[in-house]
Amino acid sequence: MQKYWCEKHVKAAFDYARMVTKHHAKSFYFSARFLPPNRRWAAYALYHFCRHADNLIDLPRGRSRDQLLQEVACLRKELTTAYQAGESEHAVIKPFMVIAKKFAIPIEYPLDLLNGVEMDICFKRFNTFEQLYVFCYRVAGVVGLMMTHILGYNDDRAFHYAEKLGIAMQLTNILRDIQEDKNMGRIYFPEDEMQRFEVREADISEERLTPELKRLIEFQAQRAHDYFARAATGIPMLTPASQFAIYSAGKIYQSILYRLEQRGYDPFQGRVYVPTWQKVAILLREKIRRRRSVADS
Q: Do 74 and 159 belong together in one domain?
A: no
Q: What's the pLDDT at 280?
A: 81
Give yes or no: residues 177 and 61 share one domain: no
pLDDT at 296: 58
Q: What is the mean pLDDT of residues 52-67?
A: 88
Q: What angle do CA 52, 58, 62 make, to 5 degrees?
A: 110
Specify the CATH number for the domain of residue 127: 1.10.600.10
pLDDT at residue 294 greater than cutoff 60: no
Residue 293 is predicted with a pLDDT of: 58
What is the reported pLDDT for 273?
A: 82
What is the average per-residue pLDDT within 47-63? 89
Higher pLDDT, 27 or 5: 5
Report H helices in the chain: 11-24, 26-32, 37-58, 65-85, 93-102, 108-121, 129-136, 142-151, 158-176, 178-183, 191-196, 201-205, 211-232, 240-262, 276-296
Long-range contact pairs involving 274-277 (C-beta distance under 8 Å, separation at least 24): 274/27, 276/30
115 within some domain: no
Query: Cα 164–45–81 angle (5° rounding)?
Result: 95
**What pLDDT sits at residue 62?**
84
**Number of folded domains in the chain?**
2
Domain membership flag for residue 109: no
Residue 177 domain boundaries? 123-297
- Count Cβ atoms within 10 A of the Cβ of residue 255 and give its class: 0-12 exposed, 13-18 middle, 19 or more buried: buried
> How confident is the model at residue 290, as a pLDDT?
62
| Cα distance between residue 69 and residue 71, in whole Å | 5
Q: Please check whether residue 160 lies inside any domain of the structure.
A: yes
Residues 147 and 197 in one domain: yes
The C-alpha atoms of residue 39 and residue 295 are separated, in whole angstroms, by 28
119, amino acid identity: M
| Overall pTM surpassing 0.75 (yes/no) | yes
Residue 153, classed as helix, strand or coil, is strand
**Predicted pLDDT at 176:** 96
Question: Is 239 within 8 Å of 150 (Cβ atoms)?
Answer: no
Report yes or no: 204 and 178 within 8 Å, Cβ to Cβ: yes
In a domain, residue 113? The reply is no
129 and 87 inside one domain: no
Domain boundary residue, one of 69, 104, 139:
104
Integer Cα distance of 213 and 73 in angstroms:
37
Res 58: pLDDT: 80
In a domain, 155, yes or no: yes
Res 276 pLDDT > 90 = no
Q: Does residue 193 lie within any of the structural domains? A: yes
Q: What is the mean pLDDT of residues 47-60?
A: 90
Do 288 and 185 reside in the same domain of the chain?
A: yes
Banded pLDDT at 61 (limits 50, 70, 90): confident
**What integer pLDDT is reported at residue 233 of this predicted model?**
96
Q: Are 20 and 51 in contact (CB under 8 A)?
A: yes
Share of the chain above pLDDT 90, in %: 84
132 and 277 both lie in a single domain: yes
Regarding whether 128 and 54 lie in a shared domain, the answer is no
Kindly indicate the confidence band of residue 130, based on its pLDDT and cuts at 50, 70 and 90.
Answer: very high
Q: Would you say residue 132 has pLDDT above 90?
A: yes
Nearest-angstrom CA–CA distance, 89 and 173: 32
Question: Final residue of a domain: which of 55, 70, 104?
Answer: 104
**Distance between CA atoms of residues 163 and 161, nearest Å:** 5
Residues 287, 184 within the same domain: yes
pLDDT value for 1: 59
How far, rounded to the nearest angstrom, does the alpha carbon of residue 189 sit from its chain's CA centroid?
A: 18
Q: How many CB atoms lie within 10 A of CB 160?
A: 17
Note whether residue 164 is domain-resident.
yes
Lowest mean pLDDT among 48-62, 135-149, 236-250, 269-283: 269-283
Q: Is the pLDDT confidence value at 60 over 80?
A: no
Q: Which of 155-159, 168-172, 179-183, 278-282 has the lowest mean pLDDT?
A: 278-282
Query: In this predicted model, what pLDDT tens digit does every residue of 71-111 receive, in sequence order?
Result: 999 999 999 999 999 999 999 999 999 999 999 999 999 99
Percent residues over pLDDT 70 in the chain: 96
Q: Model confidence at 40, in pLDDT bands (50, 70, 90)?
A: very high
Domain boundary among 104, 133, 162: 104
| Mean pLDDT of the region 270-284 | 83
Tell me how far CA of residue 63 lies from CA of 66, 67, 87, 123, 158, in angstroms: 8, 6, 29, 15, 39
In a domain, 2, yes or no: no
Distance, CA of 49 to CA of 92 (rounded, Å): 6
Task: Using alpha carbons, list the distances in angstroms from residue 232 to 67, 73, 222, 248, 273.
Answer: 40, 35, 15, 11, 22
Q: Are residues 12 and 135 in the same domain?
A: no
Question: Are 64 and 156 within one domain?
Answer: no
pLDDT value for 295 = 58
Pair 142, 280 in one domain: yes
More confident residue, 157 or 1: 157
Question: In this structure, are 97 and 131 located in the same domain?
Answer: no
- Among 146, 158, 150, smallest CA distance to 114 is for 146
Q: How does the average pLDDT of the chain come out, rounded?
A: 93
